[in-house]
Structure 1
Amino acid sequence: MNSIKLVCLFFISIILTFSHQLVLFIFFRWIVHFKKILSVKRNFSSYIAVSLISMLFTVNANALTAVTINKINGSKPYLTFDKGKTKVTSTEGLLSVTLPDGRQYVPSGDMAHLYPNAIVNDSTMTNPIILNNGELDFVSIKTFVPLKKEGNSNYPSVALNSLIKLYNYWGDDDGDGNVTATGTLTLSWINKQGVNVTSMISNNTITALDPCDAPYQLNIQTTDGILSTQYGIPNTTRFNAATSVYYITPKIDMPYVCYAQPNFSMDQSYGPNWVSKKGFRVDNIDNVANNFPTTGSNGLHFYLLLAGITPNQVITANGATVFPENGNKTVNLSLTVEKTQNWNGQPQLALKILLNGPTLDSTNRSFTPSEFKLYSDSNHSQLLYKFKIERWYITKIEQADGYENAKAFCNNLGVTYRIPGVEDFTNGNGYGWENGIPGQGNSYRRQISYKNGDKWVGGLMNEWGYLSNTSTDYPAAKNWDGSGIYWTSLAVPNMYSLIYDINNGMYSQGYIGYNMPSALTHRVVCVSP
């Protein structure tokens, strides 16, 4: 429409100019015709009259031109996402999210009132948007960034020019066309561990939201940009960069434990329940034999990574100190809320469980196998997790001064304590010892210990990893200094007077070796029963 008005203005100006020149021509012809009669004074007066008339035409023409220009000033182009019903001049509408059930969330900005049927986003990490049952697919959560399967090879970004043109997300009340836009719309998905999983979603490595990694943070942002039409006055609309952050989680009907996480030493040598960078996966809490840990020592700790419940809620339901359901109750648990240690570079908020039990300095060092239960409700009707400590270990921080002194040390702790066998340390095999996991070499595999008949396969190290009291491992386990070689109770077959030992070094990984009983460099740990 503005272009038509400009053309009309052009022709009007030509007509006015032509009229102006015609009047001047007529008046000068009149002067020439009567030049013999008119005096110089009259000639001068006539010239003034002609000039005044000319100025009158010029003023009128200019006035008409000014009025015409003012009338063709139209409206700016605008963005619209509902075929023109709602006209917006910012990109906040591009930051909205639509869930599979039809719920639409919009940013809490100045334009939120333009979407009366939408929900203003106020989600947080502790108050996320909850999907309905069965709504787990990332692709079912709609944004204005087209998916790869929709032809967007640049996912998770899209140029606003192609987006606005393709879907007609624009309008101009003057009918101006040939729209162009600058700027980019981009999204990213980040799980609760702080890991950006956008590329994995793009490549279909992961397709569904995992409650154990939720809530997810969905970031949607636009850059600065300009919306323009080819003609029109005005023909541009500028908009500023904007960002909106949504926290989204699947619906969880019953809280559960995702992982039990000790330290990550030997992270790449793992059994059926060990997940790299996460810990022991919890599959069936009722099968207590498969739940971590089955071994323990004072000051060791681990984390429970939860879904559908917070660490604070677990403590509210169970208390900060938990005693066993059975056993002689010399072992108990301390529950706190902490971020996991930086074992994998991704600390996250979790329930920390610290083992408290008999030490060398305890008055009562007795131990019997003890089963612990944690609940998700204060009535203790909904079981969240349970595990059973079958063996308890007490270590001496100094050297044992030879094998015979090591045996005497353990005997003095109580009738149930003994020097451990190889199987009480590791599930590896080496130097004639073949009672570990079949095929496993001379290092432990991160796997829950289990029984083969009445014999244990595995012990403290394959469950807990590197035993060290450093700040990055188990700082409360004061007597575990991480550098010891420990006596076992077993002699090496066919090798006269040699005793198996186990190396607890960071890179030794429970290495099975041997030495003479007289060696003074070894340390001792005792196990019960």
Structure 2
Amino acid sequence: MFKYNYLKNSHNLKLFSILLLEIYSKFVIEKRSIFSVFKHLLPGNLAVDKLLSSRYLRLLLLIFNPNIVVRLINKIQKIILFSMIITVNSVYALNVSTAESIQGSKPYLNLGNGSIKADNSDSLLSITLSNGKVITPSNDVSSITNPIYLPHSKQSFTRIRTIIPFTEQGNPNYPQVKISDLLGSPFNFYADDDGDGFDENGNVTATGTGNISLKWEARNPKVTDINAQNAYIDITSTVKNNPREMISLCDSPYRLTISTSNGELKTEHGKPNNNIFTQRSHTYYISAKMLPTVCFAQPNLLYDNASYGNNMISVDYDGPLWDSAKLSDNEYRGFPSKGFKVRNAHSSGEYEGENSVYNNNFPSTGSNGLYFYLLLKGATPEEMLAANGSTINAKEGGRVKLSLSVESTPKWRHDARLPAPIPYWNSEPALKVTLSGPHSGSNTKTFNPATFKLYTDSAETHTLYEFKIMRWYIPQPKVNYGEGDAREWSKSDAQSYQAKARAYCSSLGANYRLANVNDFTNANRYRYGWNSGIAGRSSKAYRRQLSYLSAGNWVGGINNEWGCLVNDWNAVGSDQYHCSGYPGSDWDSYAYWTDNLAKNVTESEDEAKPLINPMNVGEPMIYDSYDYQYRAACVSP
């Protein structure tokens, strides 16, 4: 029997532990994981009289058969007796040679609940898709023309896992993270197959150095050349603030670049006791799943920031979802707007509050003969026409229908106060949507808010595009309300003409009324006391965005949504800022009466003068500003 007092020396105790583990590894019947468990049960500072206590004997009996236990104990005795008679130098030599014979594994980072063992720079820069597929720099073949397609539709940025946790997952430094911050709580990414780097309570004692960062980029809609230096724009801050925003096919392919500095994982014990990561960076190209998608809804592009004044005047016409053709430095990007960006195929149908414009699709207003174009990705216009048919009825509401056809986007022409018409267009194949409903010659003019849905398939299982028309307009063609030069009318004359227009709308029944300023435009005109447009906005013309409700009152209407609203270049009532408009509609004038009077004006003589709305840029005016020919436009409800 060997003497337990031999183990009271701490060095001998450590040596004994190493020898015992070596012997154990030669006789173990179970897998290597059992070896790790046994090693963990031999803390270096264990009291000598407890080293071979009952818990270790029980462990031995569980994993060895009796014969092996006897052989193991005998071998331990022989080794201990031998070690007691050798010299101190021999003991140290044995210590060194034995330690060198035991080779463990490097510490690493354990990602995705064990799906990724990040033990080198390649795996450190990996991504994991929602179906569990792991892609590393060494096996990534993606490019701008051959992106990685996500396995499912409607996936947010959170469904692409990297080693860098999002802010909502506990990382306040996104899009960066220190390796040292990943080791313990709340992420607990640290791992070591030998159990090194933990204390007896399971807390991480390993250390880490180095940093990892990433950058998200999306296609720059203002640059057509995919190889241009500015073909992509940085959207990392957008992803940080809205990680659950859906990855869009329209902005695909995205670029995700992950970078790591030089770094190291290190433990106090174990061999090897460190893992070194080298500085490296890799870029992935990622696309939403290829499904039929509407990227833009395009009504008349006139007017916006780039088209007004032939791009020579700085204005505030581009709304939050309008595809702006102006660069950040106010320079023209080289091709026109594509219209309203579509964030979601579905429309909420709720319009209260300014932020509702992000939850609804164009248009919320309508009139017979107006049309717009859907610019698609993931399907052709012909395929979507075949899936839906040429006529679409409302899902709810009534009296309005849609006609679908395939047509390239038109030349939206304007003069911008220049001698010859200027085309503002970029012809693209599109699905044309034409509105058909009550008009001045209809026997029945009743309108109820109507919801429309287009689908990606004839079985109507997936929505392509949804919108809800809340207000319906009936302009009265070929009838002027007022005679002679408007600049020579008295205030009472103008008010009487306005009253006649009001009476016409009332005669239509079905809750039609003369449109007020906010049924046309979202502009303010403080000079004439009109401040019910977009709050705080100083521009006197419309902003291209959807209308919304504020305390139950509409802010904006048909003009800011549909743009320059006439049926012919030579429609009556304007000598400037002409446009090609919407042929086939009844909007045959550049100016219409509103149901409002100027009040609290800056010049007293303008008080109580009727306001009119020019249909090119939606700039509220008093009736005697120009020699226009004013007509009536009625709206319901």
Q: TM-score range by the shorter chain?
A: 0.5 to 0.7
CA deviation after TM superposition for structure 1 residue 486, in Å: 1.1
Where 2:228 maps in the other structure, the secondary structure is helix
- 1:447 pairs with 2:542: no
Where 2:515 maps in the other structure, the secondary structure is coil
- Counterpart position of 2:633: 525
- 1:426 pairs with 2:521: yes
Where 1:511 maps in the other structure, the secondary structure is coil
- Counterpart position of 1:94: none
- 1:435 pairs with 2:464: no
What's the TM-score once normalised by structure 2's chain length?
0.45
The 5 Å alignment of 1:394-405 reads 394-398=474-478, 399-401=480-482, 402-405=497-500
- 1:282 pairs with 2:380: no
- Counterpart position of 2:583: 476
Q: Distance in 1 between matches of 2:436 and 2:362?
A: 16
- Counterpart position of 1:492: 598
- Counterpart position of 1:91: none
Checking the alignment, whether the CA contact within 8 Å between 1:194 and 1:346 is kept in structure 2 is: no
With over 3 angstroms needed to count, the CA separation of the structure-2 counterparts of 1:210 and 1:451, relative to structure 1, is: closer
Where 2:433 maps in the other structure, the secondary structure is strand
With over 3 angstroms needed to count, the CA separation of the structure-2 counterparts of 1:321 and 1:302, relative to structure 1, is: same
CA deviation after TM superposition for structure 1 residue 389, in Å: 0.5
Q: Distance in 2 between matches of 1:100 and 1:260?
A: 39
- Counterpart position of 2:228: 199
For structure 1, the residue ranges without an aligned partner over 5 or more in a row are 1-98, 105-127, 136-189, 216-247
Q: Distance in 2 between matches of 1:212 and 1:470?
A: 33
Q: Distance in 2 between matches of 1:418 and 1:378?
A: 39
CA deviation after TM superposition for structure 1 residue 319, in Å: 1.1
Q: Distance in 1 between matches of 2:427 and 2:549?
A: 33
Letter in 1 for 2:558: L
Checking the alignment, whether the CA contact within 8 Å between 1:491 and 1:497 is kept in structure 2 is: yes
CA deviation after TM superposition for structure 1 residue 400, in Å: 2.3
Number of aligned residue pairs: give it.
315
CA deviation after TM superposition for structure 1 residue 207, in Å: 11
- Counterpart position of 2:301: 264
With over 3 angstroms needed to count, the CA separation of the structure-2 counterparts of 1:524 and 1:131, relative to structure 1, is: same
Q: Distance in 2 between matches of 1:103 and 1:497?
A: 66
Where 1:523 maps in the other structure, the secondary structure is coil
With over 3 angstroms needed to count, the CA separation of the structure-2 counterparts of 1:200 and 1:394, relative to structure 1, is: farther
Letter in 2 for 1:330: R
Where 2:518 maps in the other structure, the secondary structure is helix
Q: Distance in 2 between matches of 1:412 and 1:341?
A: 37
Q: Distance in 2 between matches of 1:457 and 1:193?
A: 29
- Counterpart position of 2:64: none
- Counterpart position of 1:370: 450
Where 2:387 maps in the other structure, the secondary structure is helix
With over 3 angstroms needed to count, the CA separation of the structure-2 counterparts of 1:448 and 1:484, relative to structure 1, is: same
What's the TM-score once normalised by structure 1's chain length?
0.54
Checking the alignment, whether the CA contact within 8 Å between 2:477 and 2:631 is kept in structure 1 is: yes
Q: Distance in 2 between matches of 1:249 and 1:310?
A: 22
Q: Distance in 1 between matches of 2:561 and 2:531?
A: 19
CA deviation after TM superposition for structure 1 residue 206, in Å: 8.2
- Counterpart position of 1:84: none
The 5 Å alignment of 1:26-105 reads none
The 5 Å alignment of 1:67-146 reads 131-133=147-149
- 1:463 pairs with 2:561: yes
| Counterpart pick for 2:321 among 269, 273, 276 | 273
- 1:334 pairs with 2:403: yes
| Counterpart pick for 2:439 among 349, 356, 359 | 359
Checking the alignment, whether the CA contact within 8 Å between 1:447 and 1:462 is kept in structure 2 is: yes
CA deviation after TM superposition for structure 1 residue 341, in Å: 1.4
After TM superposition, the runs of 4+ consecutive aligned structure 1 residues lying more than 6 A away are 190-194, 206-210
With over 3 angstroms needed to count, the CA separation of the structure-2 counterparts of 1:205 and 1:193, relative to structure 1, is: closer
Letter in 1 for 2:631: R
Where 2:513 maps in the other structure, the secondary structure is coil
Checking the alignment, whether the CA contact within 8 Å between 1:503 and 1:510 is kept in structure 2 is: yes
Q: Distance in 2 between matches of 1:211 and 1:415?
A: 42
- 1:385 pairs with 2:465: yes
| Counterpart pick for 1:511 among 619, 622, 627 | 619
Q: Distance in 2 between matches of 1:207 and 1:455?
A: 35
The 5 Å alignment of 1:4-19 reads none
- Counterpart position of 1:301: 371
Q: Distance in 2 between matches of 1:475 and 1:491?
A: 29
Letter in 2 for 1:275: D
Where 1:404 maps in the other structure, the secondary structure is helix
Q: Distance in 2 between matches of 1:487 and 1:192?
A: 38
For structure 2, the residue ranges without an aligned partner over 5 or more in a row are 1-137, 152-218, 237-246, 254-284, 306-316, 325-336, 352-359, 413-423, 483-496, 570-578, 601-605
Q: Distance in 2 between matches of 1:103 and 1:251?
A: 13
CA deviation after TM superposition for structure 1 residue 201, in Å: 5.2
Letter in 2 for 1:486: Y
Q: Please identify the structure whose Cα radius of gyration is greater.
A: 1
Q: Distance in 2 between matches of 1:451 and 1:212?
A: 29
Task: State the Cα deviation string for residues 369-418 of structure 1 (Å, max 9, x = none).
Answer: 10101111111111111111011111122212322221121112123111
Q: Distance in 1 between matches of 2:410 and 2:222?
A: 12
Letter in 2 for 1:388: K
| Counterpart pick for 1:320 among 390, 398, 402 | 390
Where 2:565 maps in the other structure, the secondary structure is coil
With over 3 angstroms needed to count, the CA separation of the structure-2 counterparts of 1:355 and 1:526, relative to structure 1, is: same
Q: Distance in 1 between matches of 2:628 and 2:590?
A: 12
Letter in 2 for 1:317: A
Q: Distance in 2 between matches of 1:261 and 1:279?
A: 4
- Counterpart position of 1:24: none
CA RMSD of aligned residues (A): 3.5
Checking the alignment, whether the CA contact within 8 Å between 2:514 and 2:634 is kept in structure 1 is: yes
